[in-house]
Structure 1
Amino acid sequence: MKKTIKALKFPVIFLLIALSFIACDEEFSVLESDVLGKGNANFGIGDTILPITAYNKKLNTLQINNLNSNLLGFYNDPEFGQTTASVVTQVTPTSLSPSFGVNPVIDSVILSIPYFSKVIGVDTNGNSTYSIKDSLYGDPEAEIKLSIYRNNYFLRSFNPNSANSPQNYFSNGNSGINLTDNFALIENNTINFDDHKGEILKDTMFSPSADAIKTTIGDGDDAVTSRTVPAFRTHLDDTDDTKNFWKTTIIDIEGQPELSNVSNFYDYFRGLYFKAEAVSGNGNMFLLNFASADANIAIHYSTGEENSRTQATYSLNFSGGNRLNTFINNYNTTFVDGDPDLGDETLYLKGAEGSMAIVDLFGNDPDAYDDFINDFRKTDDNGDFIKDKRTGDFVLKKIINEAQLIIHEDISSDNEGLHRYDRIYAYDIKNNIILADYGADQATSNPSDPLNSIIFHLGQRDPDQKKYKIRLTRHLNNILLKDSTNTKIGLVLSTNVNYLNNAEILNSNNDDVTAIPAAAILSPRGTILHGNRVRNGVDSSKRMKLSVFFTEPENN
């Protein structure tokens, strides 16, 4: 007996390895009985295409506060048109009830907000070099007009109309009011932040840089230079007026209630408004890490008697308070809700405030769902489904090895380079959660590199065939084994599949889609896909399809 077991080890292991390679292949192929010998195999492998419908869902009034990062700038998507992103944010004192000493005089006021960067090498002096291309959209050489104002609109934390509920702010980029002002919505009210602009603290032409930030302290031989990651860094003390602004607004209120607690300060100094604008119809957009510990406004001042002056710093940071993105959209594509019954020929995935797709497995045909269940589950002599007494799961007569949602792009080759970092994120729109396949794919999770994270479930863009493959194996098996609900699946474009927070949609209680992954808001790009139907003249092989590959034991 022992010899027999040993003799079987190799072919069994070889079979498992072969199956794993098949599961990872571009398309499954039929595995005959070569491994065990013709006539000795007790299973067969097959495949089928399950019916689906896929249709468009227009997105607007999206939650734009509580994002983990923020877009700033102008981006002209070749497929969809223009988006301008601005930021309104509170700032928080790092210390309360400060003492600024005797005769304080402001030396400089420096704003610093890191980009999302990564080390790509080391220069000849042994210093790290960086890239910010993963968080830069558009022409890297272009400039935007950037104006930084004091914001006079109070960003409250709680909704007065709902006890203990946070106050959420929603996008209004497609308002049609104008293409110059930045708006947000709260319940039934519209906020125009341009109506609440205070003093202007910076007015500049700006383009981001991947250079490290160098800071030198001291002079001559005593000088010490430090380097930090690339950041948006600028002076807010360029003129006598701006320098005096910080003196009267912060330094001169020492001992006043406004600096005694954070709530008082938020009401007194309501934050900053970063307004971005295109320059001659061009510009770029970049992602800023406001949540970084290094994101702050540093007020450097000197204090003390004339012959014994010392230098000190008082900082305001961007963590803890409210912060939101606003969008102005000037699209050349009109987004509309699609056909949930037949599906759409063309699907539009557009970030910021645009469009998503909904995939309905089995469509609206109850017979298709019933046929799937009957085809895969075992029944007893009475025709009732059999359950495993130990696990409570249904017993299957066919085992799903892999289910692939195959999605082809419908974009021109001229724009292909723009999509090399695109990922398609799939989620359960009923419960606003990840799919079971995401949770099962932790082996490929890569927190520091979203482009190469969760690559088995969500796949990666195939640049040659211009297609995506979303694996739904666990999702379908849960339907078969555990009778899980067949929920509709949402598809959005994402450049960070690790970011799982949701963004609510205003007044969406009676809609299928009540929230979207927040990461979709932070991608200004878009892509076009073929739906479950294709236009006349398009190869039918380009249509979206759900391919299922299964093992079927013999003598079921």
Structure 2
Amino acid sequence: MKLNLLLKSVVITAAIAVISSCDKDFNQIGTDVLGDNDHYGLLTDSTSTTIAYNVPSGAVQTNNLPVNTLGFYDNDVFGKTTSNFITQLALAATSPVFINPAGSIVVDSVYLHVPYFYTPVSIDETSGDTTFREDSLIGNSKIKIDVYRSGFFLENLDSSPGSGLTENKKYFSDDDFSTSLASSRLNEGVLSENDNFEFKKTQIKFYKNDAAGAPATTTVRDRLAPGLFMMLDKLYFENNIIKTNPINLSNNTIFRDYFKGLYFKVSPSPSDPSAKGALNRLNFAQGKITIIYQDKTSITDPKIIKKSIVLNLSGNTVNTFTNNLNPNYSNKLSASYNNTTVGAQRLYLKGGNGSAAVISLFGGRANDDATAANEIQKFRDQKCLISDASLTFTIDKTPGAMTTEIEPRRIYLFDLDNKAPLIDYFSDFTSSSNPKFSKFIHGGIIKLNSDKRGTTYKIKLTNHIQNLVRDKTKKNVKLGLIITESISVIANYALKNPFTYLTNPNAVNPTGSTATCVSLPVMTYPNPLGTVLYGTDLPSTDPKKLKLVIRYTKPE
């Protein structure tokens, strides 16, 4: 259990560091480190067989993700995705002490604040206001957000029959918590905090009262970072927190059993029901509810002052995703479109509970295959020295594809058989001022044109190919390709319905064997974006066809 909590904290810490970096504006560093035209007389081979096809991920494990999303967005290519969220709460300080009897204490206000991921840009020296760049917002429509007390207890360990309470509990993106609500809507304030909510990049300000003690808007008392801000039902929290049995507030284990948490439900705004929506990545780990109430200063000082109780949005969490897929996208995930022998014409990558690609190099043959079908052997026979190897994925810009939609900034190629990064990932120590774009030689970073639209993603796998050529005992593993929110976090989270794929055939086993993929890299789950790439079921003369390009030298 302690190990699980430690792992969770490490994953979240790493993710927060990279998510807080901007995902929209970046210096295009490292996308052409070696250049595409300067290869110093190297020989080039692009004739080896590459096979790439789509696989749907289906429902994915989304409890305790490093980063969570909230909102909905209707993507013209992939369809509509709605992201809801449930979280436990924790008392910042247990066993709060009330001087007056709790039954006589009055709550002044209750507010919820969950910061966004943002970057400070400038500070106005006159007003003290900071201007921010919002880093993770997709879409800008008004949406409806309902906040409820949850009646569902999020378990640490799996208590299902036969589990023996030895495995960590897994919750998935298709779990439905909307049937376990324990209150009416708690954010019944102004419309801008519920039915007409907007993700804004401005600070939240608290003002000092005037000399007569009346509310004023001239002198700023405090500021909060840009974030989701809502006033909550103060009478509800007065009755259920201040006036509850003190035992319920004595420690967080008891408190979480009593007050299960909050559920955030998103839907279109009644003011604009047909809007494309807005979906944001929020820093829920820094979210909190603040209850402001009046009480005596102390037992010996009867002066009434304002005090506060803070409930942190910490503990177990689950992000749920609901898709209303574009029929064309659904068809492109069908078995009839994805030929495992020649691949697919287009690769549809989508984060969340979306889709990935399976890639076979060298025709998918085993490295030690003794037949003429072994395309790796020719490099050994000619004693080739591999200097560079890469896959370049061209983005489909035809109508109905990636013409106007927001594009993911990075894709990630990994060892699908072993659920691990390639050796080129570990051998790339390059860094960037923006952590999202570290390991830029290994690549996968989008290349932009003069209009700031993507053209290609290029991934270097030189060391991987060198190892295959040098040592025929090295397995020619299947590769996986996904959208990623961060290349720095490489942990894997489960698939609810694992998918199967064929491992490499050889002379002994000419049809290959079936392998099962039970998980994918976790950082594809918080990224709701998608892209369409040219695949391998295209004429060999098509310049957009996905090919493995190897540059090498041969001995004189």
- TM-score, L = length of structure 1: 0.78
| Unpaired runs of at least 5, structure 1 | 1-19, 32-43, 173-183, 185-190, 237-241, 379-395
1:427 to 2:414 alignment: yes
Report 1:154-553 matches (<5 A): 154-160=153-159, 161-172=163-174, 184=175, 191-203=176-188, 204=194, 205-216=196-207, 219=210, 225-236=221-232, 242-253=233-244, 255-256=246-247, 258-279=248-269, 280-282=273-275, 283-292=277-286, 295-304=287-296, 308-319=303-314, 321-332=315-326, 333-334=329-330, 335-337=333-335, 338-366=338-366, 371-377=374-380, 397-412=383-398, 415-444=402-431, 448-450=434-436, 452-464=437-449, 466-481=455-470, 483-508=473-498, 512-534=516-538, 540-553=542-555
Deviations 1:167-219 (A, max 9, x none): 010122xxxxxxxxxxx0xxxxxx44234353320151201111123334565
Match of 1:176 in 2: none
Decide whether the 8 Å contact of 1:302 with 1:312 is kept in 2.
yes
Q: Give the CA deviation at 1:227.
A: 3.4
Decide whether the 8 Å contact of 2:365 with 2:373 is kept in 1.
no
Out of 500-509 and 112-121, give the one that drifted further: 500-509
Decide whether the 8 Å contact of 2:205 with 2:220 is kept in 1.
no
Report 1:43-192 matches (<5 A): 45-102=43-100, 103-123=104-124, 125=126, 127-132=129-134, 134-138=135-139, 140=140, 142-160=141-159, 161-172=163-174, 184=175, 191-192=176-177
Decide whether the 8 Å contact of 2:109 with 2:234 is kept in 1.
yes
Distance 1:212 1:224, change over 3 A: closer
Q: Give the CA deviation at 1:341.
A: 2.0
Decide whether the 8 Å contact of 2:407 with 2:530 is kept in 1.
no
Decide whether the 8 Å contact of 2:31 with 2:441 is kept in 1.
no
CA–CA separation in structure 2 for the residues paired with 1:246 and 1:110: 10
Out of 192-201 and 258-267, give the one that drifted further: 192-201
CA–CA separation in structure 1 for the residues paired with 2:459 and 2:550: 12
2:293 counterpart letter in structure 1: Y
CA–CA separation in structure 1 for the residues paired with 2:200 and 2:489: 25
Distance 1:478 1:312, change over 3 A: farther
CA–CA separation in structure 1 for the residues paired with 2:99 and 2:153: 30
Distance 1:364 1:438, change over 3 A: closer
- Deviating above 6 A after TM superposition, structure 1's stretches of 4 or more consecutive aligned residues are 20-23
Percent of residue pairs bearing the same amino acid type: 31
Decide whether the 8 Å contact of 2:534 with 2:544 is kept in 1.
yes
Distance 1:363 1:196, change over 3 A: farther
Deviations 1:308-367 (A, max 9, x none): 012211111122x11111112111131335322221111111122111111111233456
Q: What secondary structure is seen at the aligned counterpart in 2 of 1:135?
A: coil
CA–CA separation in structure 2 for the residues paired with 1:81 and 1:48: 35
1:438 counterpart letter in structure 2: Y
Out of 361-370 and 55-64, give the one that drifted further: 361-370
Q: Give the CA deviation at 1:54.
A: 0.3
Deviations 1:82-136 (A, max 9, x none): 111110111111121221221432111110111010122333536431111x311
Decide whether the 8 Å contact of 1:406 with 1:470 is kept in 2.
yes
Q: Give the CA deviation at 1:471.
A: 0.7
Deviations 1:232-286 (A, max 9, x none): 11111xxxxx222101111112522x21222211111110110000231222111
Structure with greater Cα Rg: 1
1:198 counterpart letter in structure 2: S
Q: What secondary structure is seen at the aligned counterpart in 1 of 2:183?
A: strand
Decide whether the 8 Å contact of 2:345 with 2:536 is kept in 1.
yes
Q: What secondary structure is seen at the aligned counterpart in 1 of 2:551?
A: strand
Distance 1:518 1:411, change over 3 A: farther
1:458 counterpart letter in structure 2: G
2:546 counterpart letter in structure 1: M
Decide whether the 8 Å contact of 1:112 with 1:233 is kept in 2.
yes
Decide whether the 8 Å contact of 2:363 with 2:375 is kept in 1.
no
CA–CA separation in structure 2 for the residues paired with 1:162 and 1:402: 51
2:363 counterpart letter in structure 1: G
CA–CA separation in structure 2 for the residues paired with 1:212 and 1:426: 38
CA–CA separation in structure 2 for the residues paired with 1:271 and 1:169: 16
